[in-house]
Amino acid sequence: MVKVAILGYGVVGSGVAEVIDKNSSPIQAKSKASIVVKYILDIRDFPGDVYEDKIIKDFSIIESDPEVSIVVETIGGKGVAYDFTKRAILAGKNVVTSNKELVAEHGVELLRLAQERNLNYLFEASVGGGIPIIRPLTQCLSANHFNEISGILNGTTNYILTKMIKEKMSFEDALAEAQEKGYAEKDPTADVEGLDACRKICILADLAYGKHISPSQVYTEGITKITRLDVDCAGKLDCVIKLIGRAVKKDEQVQIIVAPHLVSTESPLSNVEDVFNGIMVDGDAIGNVMFYGRGAGRLPTASAVVADVIDIVKHMGAEKFVNSWDEAPEGYVSDYREMEYSFMVRATSDSLKENLNDVFPGCEIISDSEGAFITPYLKTGDVLAKLEKLTSKSFKIHNAIRILKNN
Amino acid sequence: MVKVAILGYGVVGSGVAEVIDKNSSPIQAKSKASIVVKYILDIRDFPGDVYEDKIIKDFSIIESDPEVSIVVETIGGKGVAYDFTKRAILAGKNVVTSNKELVAEHGVELLRLAQERNLNYLFEASVGGGIPIIRPLTQCLSANHFNEISGILNGTTNYILTKMIKEKMSFEDALAEAQEKGYAEKDPTADVEGLDACRKICILADLAYGKHISPSQVYTEGITKITRLDVDCAGKLDCVIKLIGRAVKKDEQVQIIVAPHLVSTESPLSNVEDVFNGIMVDGDAIGNVMFYGRGAGRLPTASAVVADVIDIVKHMGAEKFVNSWDEAPEGYVSDYREMEYSFMVRATSDSLKENLNDVFPGCEIISDSEGAFITPYLKTGDVLAKLEKLTSKSFKIHNAIRILKNN
C-alpha cells in the first residue's frame, strides 16, 4: 500500500482525492498497488467533509512520517509550495505537482535535488491541465529534434477570444462572462496578460531543448488590446486570433514568445475553442503533432496528477530518469526583435496607400476602410522600425498582430 | 552500447535505421546509452546501400546473437513476422513493432510470452503512425475510466474523403489521385474497406478496456459507397463525412464499429484532413482529449518505433509493466445492431413526406430534391428494420450514414 499526502485542499487537491477514491480499481490495475491518501494539508477547516479526519495543518507531520512516499503539491505559487516541495524531497519523498509557476522558476533546482536522491519530481499537470503533453514530448517523441512548439496554453484567454470571434462580443463583455462562469479570476491579470501561458511555454521549451528559460526572459504580450475590429479583419484573411506561446530552435538559440497571433482556419489550432488547449509540436521525424483537451479544471488536472502518482508507484525502487534541464548559457534566449513575422496592421492615415508604399512597398492592403494591411515577412525589429516611420508620417497605428506561419 | 536488429528493410525499416543514425545525439541523451543497428534482415539485396554490410538473410543469426537485445519488426502481416517475433522473444529479446495486423490478432499471446520473460513487446507505431497514443492512453490517462474512443485512424481514406469534400472530386478520382501520390496501394481494399482502421480500433479498445477484440468481431464498413451527393447533404447539416473507428464501453460490454460517420464541423475531428489522423479519447476525469498528427509515413512511423526502442533501453533490467490484455468472455463485443445512432438517409420515393411520416413520424427532412432525411436516435437494428419497411413502400434507399454524436 502506497500512502500519499496532498498539500492544499483546493480545487485541484480535492479533485486528486476524489479521483484516487473513485477510480481505485483502474489505478490498482495499472500501478499493481493500492494507493491511499493519508494526509491532506490545509490551513482551513472543512467540517463535515468526507476527508475531514485526514486534514492536518502541520507540514512536519508529513515530513517526518516514513509511511508517506509521495507528496502531491497543489498549493500553487512559489512561496510555501517551494519550501514544502524542497523539504519533502530532502525527507526522501517523491513529489507530484500541478504548479507551473514553481516548475518554471525553480525546476532546475528541484529536479536536481530529486535526481540526486533517486526520487521523482513530476509535473504533467503543470502544462495543458489533463492533456498528456510532457510525457509524450519527452518519451514518445524522444527520437526527434524539435523544430518548434506552438500552443494555445491558456483556457481563460481562449474562452474570451472564442466569444469575441463567434458571438461578436467585446473583450470587456467576454471577460465579464468568463469571470461569471468561474473561468477567469477576479484579478484576471495572470491570464489576460499572458503570464500563465508564458510559464507553460517555458516549461515546454525547457524540456524540448534541455536548458532553462525563465519567464522573465520571454517577450509576453496579452490579449487586452485585441478589439472586435482586429477579429473581423483577421476573419477576412480566413484567420482567427489566438493567444499563442511559441518556442523555436534556431541553431544554439531559442526564440520564444507569448503574443496574440493570427491562425489560419486551415490549422487544427484554429478549431481549439472555449477553454480547450491545443499544443502543436513540430519534430524532424514526426512532423506536426497536436495534443488537444481541457487545459484546466478540477478533474482533468487531477487526472494528470494521479497519472504521475501511478507512474511513481510503478517505478518504485527503480532508477529514475527524471526529465531535467540545465542552466542556460548567456545569450541562449534570442531577442524577440530577431523573430521573423508578417504582421497584420490596422492604422488610420489620410492617404493610406501612397504613404504605405514608401515604407512597405507592394504590401497587401486587406481593407481600405479599416486601414488594415499585411507587412512583408521580416524581423520583428525591422517591422517595428517601419511602423515607427509610418507614425512619423502621421499614421495612427491601432494594432499590429503577428501571423502564425502555416507549416 | 545497445545493439538492435531490424527485420524488413522497407519503408518503415529504412526509416528506423535513418532516425537511429541521424538523431543519435538526442537518442543518447534520452536513453543514456548509444544505440546501434547491428543487422538488417531482408530477402532482397541492396547493392550500394549505406547499410549494405549489415544486411543479412538468415534470421537465426539474429536469434542466436546474444549481443542483440532489441529486435525491430517492420515486416508486416502475420506470416513470417509472427514466427520471427515469437522466436525473438523466446530467445530473450525485446521486440518493437509497427505491425498492427499482428498486434490486433496475436497481441494477447505475444504480450504474455514477453511478460513471462520480463521482456517488452512494444507497438506505439501500430496505431496512428508517429502520433503518441498508446503510451498516453495507458500511462498519462491511467487514472481514467474510458467512456469512448473515436478516431480517424486511416490516412488513405481520410485523404480521399478530404478531396471529395474540398475539391468536389468523385470517390473514384480521389482514389486514383491517392494511388498516384503513393498514399493508396494498387489494391486499396485494406484501406477503403476499413480493415486497417478496424485493426487499429481493436488495439485501442484492447488497451483501454483490457480484453481482446478480434478484428473479425467488428462490424466494418468502408467508404466505397460514399458519393458526392452524400458529402453535399452532410455539408447542409454542417457536417463532414469521416471514416471513424469507434469503441464505447457499455457496462460489461464493448460496442465497436468502423464506418463512415457524419462529424459536425464543431468537432476537432472535422478539421483532421488529408493523410492526418486524429484520435479522440473520452475519459471520466479528463473529458475529451484529442491526439493529432501524421498517421503513417516513413519517418513519423520510424519516430514512434525508435521511441519504443529508447524506452526499452531506459528500463533495461527493471521489471516491465507491459500493457497487456486478456482473452474476452463470450458476448463481450455487443451486436452492432444494439448501437444507437441517428442516420442521415438518402432515398428516392414518389411521395417522400407522406410515406416517411408513417415509418419515422416527425423526422427531419434535409432536402426534398435529394430525398435526404435524418432518422431519430435509435438502435441501429431498429433503424435498419424501418428502412426495410420503407423499401417495401417502394422507397429506393441510396445510403444511410451514421451521425457521430457531439460530446
Least trusted range by pLDDT, from A56-65, A150-159, B318-327, B357-366: B318-327
pLDDT digits (tens, 9 = 90+) for A199-223: 999 999 999 999 999 999 999 999 9
Rounded Cα–Cα distance for residues A157 and A167 (Å): 15
CA separation (Å) from A170 to A178, A197, A227, A230, A371? Answer: 12, 22, 7, 11, 20
Strand partners, B94: B70
Q: Which amino acid is at A335?
A: D
Rounded Cα–Cα distance for residues A104 and B232 (Å): 49
Q: Which amino acid is at B195?
A: L
The reported pTM is 0.91
CB-based burial label for B75 (10 Å; 0-12, 13-18, 19+): buried
DSSP A102-114: HHHHHHHHHHHHH
Residue identified by cell 513519423 is B300
Q: What is the DSSP letter of A251?
A: T
pLDDT greater than 80 at residue A319? no
| B200 noted as active-site residue | yes
- Provide the pLDDT for residue A407: 54
- Provide the pLDDT for residue B322: 59
Q: Band of the pLDDT at B319, cuts 50, 70, 90?
A: low
Helix (H) or strand (E) holding A62: helix A59-63
pLDDT digits (tens, 9 = 90+) for B55-84: 999 999 999 999 999 999 999 999 999 999
pLDDT digits (tens, 9 = 90+) for A249-272: 999 999 999 999 999 988 899 989
pLDDT digits (tens, 9 = 90+) for B378-401: 999 999 999 999 998 888 999 999
Residue identified by cell 487545459 is A295
pLDDT greater than 80 at residue B257? yes
Name the CA dihedral angle for B134, B140, B142, B145, rounded to a multiple of 10 degrees: -80
Least trusted range by pLDDT, from A192-196, A344-348, A366-370: A366-370
Cβ pair B289:A294 closer than 8 A:
yes
The answer to whether A304 and A129 are in contact (CB under 8 A) is: yes
pLDDT greater than 90 at residue A362? no
Q: Is the dihedral of CA B284, B285, B287, B289 positive or negative?
A: negative
Q: Band of the pLDDT at A322, cuts 50, 70, 90?
A: low
Q: What are phi and psi of B129, to 5 degrees?
A: 50, -115
Mutation site, A24, A32, A303, A325, interface B, largest B CB count within 10 A: A303
As a residue count, chain A comes to 407
- Give the mean pLDDT of A147-165: 97
Residue identified by cell 496532498 is A6
Fold for B337-403, please state it: Alpha-Beta Plaits (3.30.70)
Strand partners, B292: A290, B278
Least trusted range by pLDDT, from A104-113, A295-304, B237-246: A295-304
Q: Which amino acid is at B248?
A: V
Q: What is the DSSP letter of B333?
A: B
- Provide the pLDDT for residue A349: 86
A278-304 per-residue burial string, b: 16 or more CB within 10 A, e: under 16: bbbbbbbbbbbbbbbbbbbbbbbbbbb
Rounded Cα–Cα distance for residues B154 and B191 (Å): 7
pLDDT digits (tens, 9 = 90+) for A58-87: 999 999 999 999 999 999 999 999 999 999
- Provide the pLDDT for residue A323: 72
- How close B241 comes to chain A (CA, Å)? 17
The answer to whether B163 and B226 are in contact (CB under 8 A) is: no
- Give the mean pLDDT of B248-273: 94
Rounded Cα–Cα distance for residues A376 and A386 (Å): 11
Rounded Cα–Cα distance for residues B38 and B36 (Å): 6
| Interface A:B, Cβ pairs < 8 A | 190
- Give the mean pLDDT of B324-332: 92
Count of CB atoms situated within 10 Å of the CB of A354: 10
Strand partners, B340: B379
Higher pLDDT, B31 or B389: B389
Q: What are phi and psi of A394, to 5 degrees?
A: 60, 30
Residue identified by cell 496579452 is A222
Rounded Cα–Cα distance for residues A187 and B102 (Å): 55
pLDDT digits (tens, 9 = 90+) for B296-308: 889 999 999 999 9
pLDDT greater than 80 at residue A361? yes
Report the candidate in A326, A317, A322 with the shortest Cα–Cα distance to residue A120: A322
Nearest CB partner across the interface for A293, out of B22, B289, B307? B289
Rounded Cα–Cα distance for residues A12 and B205 (Å): 29
CB-based burial label for A213 (10 Å; 0-12, 13-18, 19+): buried
- Provide the pLDDT for residue A334: 97
* C-alpha cell at position B157: 481514406
Mutation site, B120, B134, B289, B321, interface A, largest A CB count within 10 A: B289
Which residue of A lies nearest to B166 if distances are taken between CA atoms?
A266
Q: What are phi and psi of A86, to 5 degrees?
A: -60, -50
Rounded Cα–Cα distance for residues A246 and A333 (Å): 13
Residue identified by cell 482533468 is A300
Q: Band of the pLDDT at A324, cuts 50, 70, 90?
A: confident
B206-218 per-residue burial string, b: 16 or more CB within 10 A, e: under 16: bbbbebbbebebb
DSSP H helical ranges for B257-330: 298-314
DSSP H helical ranges for B266-344: 298-314
Rounded Cα–Cα distance for residues A279 and A204 (Å): 10
- Domain borders along chain A are 2-129+298-314, 144-293, 337-403
- Give the mean pLDDT of B328-347: 96
Report the candidate in A193, A237, A195, A233 with the shortest Cα–Cα distance to residue A214: A195
Average pLDDT, chain B: 93
Q: Band of the pLDDT at B369, cuts 50, 70, 90?
A: confident
Report the candidate in A293, A35, A310 with the shortest Cα–Cα distance to residue B139: A310
The answer to whether B108 and B210 are in contact (CB under 8 A) is: no
Its CATH class, for the domain covering A144-293, is alpha beta
pLDDT digits (tens, 9 = 90+) for B340-349: 999 999 998 8
Q: Band of the pLDDT at A103, cuts 50, 70, 90?
A: very high
The answer to whether B394 and B363 are in contact (CB under 8 A) is: no
Rounded Cα–Cα distance for residues B341 and B404 (Å): 8
- How close B326 comes to chain A (CA, Å)? 13
- Provide the pLDDT for residue B407: 54
Q: Is A332 within 8 Å of chain B by CB? A: no
Query: Which CATH number does B2-129+298-314 carry?
Result: 3.40.50.720
Q: Which amino acid is at B272?
A: V
pLDDT greater than 90 at residue B172? yes
Rounded Cα–Cα distance for residues B270 and B278 (Å): 9
Rounded Cα–Cα distance for residues B11 and A143 (Å): 17
Q: Is A125 within 8 Å of chain B by CB? A: no
Q: Is B297 within 8 Å of chain A by CB? A: yes
B360-381 per-residue burial string, b: 16 or more CB within 10 A, e: under 16: beebeebeeebbbbbbbebebe
Rounded Cα–Cα distance for residues B220 and A318 (Å): 44
Cβ pair B285:A268 closer than 8 A:
no
Nearest CB partner across the interface for A23, out of B27, B144, B315? B144
The answer to whether B191 and B157 are in contact (CB under 8 A) is: yes
- Provide the pLDDT for residue B370: 80
- Provide the pLDDT for residue A231: 96
Q: At what angle do helices A228-236 and A155-166 cross, to 10 degrees?
A: 70
Q: Is A23 within 8 Å of chain B by CB? A: yes
Nearest CB partner across the interface for B290, out of A32, A130, A293? A293
pLDDT greater than 70 at residue A321? no
Rounded Cα–Cα distance for residues B195 and B218 (Å): 10
ipTM, 2 decimals? 0.86
- Provide the pLDDT for residue A126: 95
Catalytic residue (one of B38, B54, B93, B200):
B200
* C-alpha cell at position B111: 504480450
pLDDT digits (tens, 9 = 90+) for A10-60: 999 999 999 999 988 888 888 889 999 999 999 999 999 999 999 999 999
Rounded Cα–Cα distance for residues B238 and B101 (Å): 35
Q: Is B219 within 8 Å of chain A by CB? A: no
As a residue count, chain B comes to 407
Write the CB contacts of B203 (distance below 8 Å, at least 6 apart in sequence): B100, B103, B104, B107, B123, B126, B127, B134
Q: Band of the pLDDT at A364, cuts 50, 70, 90?
A: confident
Average pLDDT, chain A: 93
The answer to whether A218 and A205 are in contact (CB under 8 A) is: no
Rounded Cα–Cα distance for residues B385 and B392 (Å): 11
* C-alpha cell at position A401: 498582430
Rounded Cα–Cα distance for residues B199 and B154 (Å): 10
Rounded Cα–Cα distance for residues B275 and B156 (Å): 6
Rounded Cα–Cα distance for residues A97 and A305 (Å): 7
Q: Enumerate the residues of chain A whose CB falls inside 8 A of the CB of residue B302.
A: 143, 285
pLDDT greater than 90 at residue A394? no
The C-alpha R_g of chain A, in whole angstroms, comes to 23
Higher pLDDT, B192 or B286: B192
Q: Is B23 within 8 Å of chain A by CB? A: yes
